[in-house]
A and B are shown apart, each in its own frame.
Chain A
Amino acid sequence: NAGVTQTPKFRILKIGQSMTLQCTQDMNHNYMYWYRQDPGMGLKLIYYSVGAGITDKGEVPNGYNVSRSTTEDFPLRLELAAPSQTSVYFCASSFRTGADTQYFGPGTRLTVL
């Protein structure tokens, strides 16, 4: 199993550009999550999904959109990138929520200039 994979690993965007961060898991997990981690900080939840076709907002959803058309994939879309979106983005998955282990991808480091 590859676990949770994310692409790209690094990206530089100009203000106002858009991009999609890809996330795929091969563990047949129902739950998937997107977090951002700012320098020296913990994780902030952007969006999460409890299954294909179902998504919900987390703590910091503004400026982002998600979709979940399959169990495996959970892309994160940035529209009109802003410098405040410079961060490291982590995708994670779990079989259930609550006490279940969250498995994280390696992250995407995004810089908006």
Chain B
Amino acid sequence: TQLLEQSPQFLSIQEGENLTVYCNSSSVFSSLQWYRQEPGEGPVLLVTVVTGGEVKKLKRLTFQFGDARKDSSLHITAAQTGDTGLYLCAGARNSGNTPLVFGKGTRLSVIA
């Protein structure tokens, strides 16, 4: 059973389009992170959201944490070819030293 479900699994869009990817769970997380992974490299953190309902913006990327802290979304405005990559969400649970739980990711391809 996947604790964090990401959708869609794959997304291919034209440059300039907008898109939203989702990260959903039936469990509550104390915080949620979004990472981007480019081909041949390790994931790199984009943002951490910690408060239910929180919205964070990073240039053209908007991240939202659900009110109940069970889900999150990432919206990209006017996608560019440089946005191409694998987007992973990862949730932190409240209990002590428990490691992050990663979703399977959304693979985004932005075509010029």
Contact = CB atoms under 8 A, between A and B. Distances in A.
A50 B97 contact: yes
Given A58-B99, A97-B97, A99-B33, A43 B92 contact: no
A76 B39 CA distance: 23
Interface residues of A, number: 24
B44 A97 contact: no
B76 interface: no
Given A104-B44, A107-B42, A40 B107 contact: yes
A90 B84 CA distance: 20
A62 interface: no
Residue of B35, B45, B90, B97 contacting most chain A CB atoms (<10 Å): B97
B48 interface: yes
A101 B42 CA distance: 13
Contacts of B99: 31, 33, 45, 48, 58, 97
A102 interface: yes
Given A105-B42, A107-B42, A99 B104 contact: no
Nearest to A30: B97
Contacts of A104: 42-44
B97 A102 contact: no
Nearest to A45: B99
Interface residues of B, number: 25
Interface string A69-106: 00000000000000000000010100001110110111
Interface string B22-66: 000000001101010000111111001010000000000000000
Report the 7 A-B pairs with minimum CB-CB distance, sorted nearest first. Answer: A104-B42, A42-B104, A99-B31, A98-B92, A43-B102, A42-B105, A101-B45
Given A43-B102, A45-B102, A98-B31, 18 more contacts: A31-B99, A42-B6, A42-B103, A43-B43, A45-B99, A48-B99, A56-B97, A58-B99, A90-B42, A97-B97, A98-B30, A99-B30, A99-B48, A99-B50, A99-B92, A101-B48, A102-B100, A105-B42
Interface of B: 6, 30-31, 33, 35, 40-45, 48, 50, 88, 90, 92, 97-100, 102-105, 107
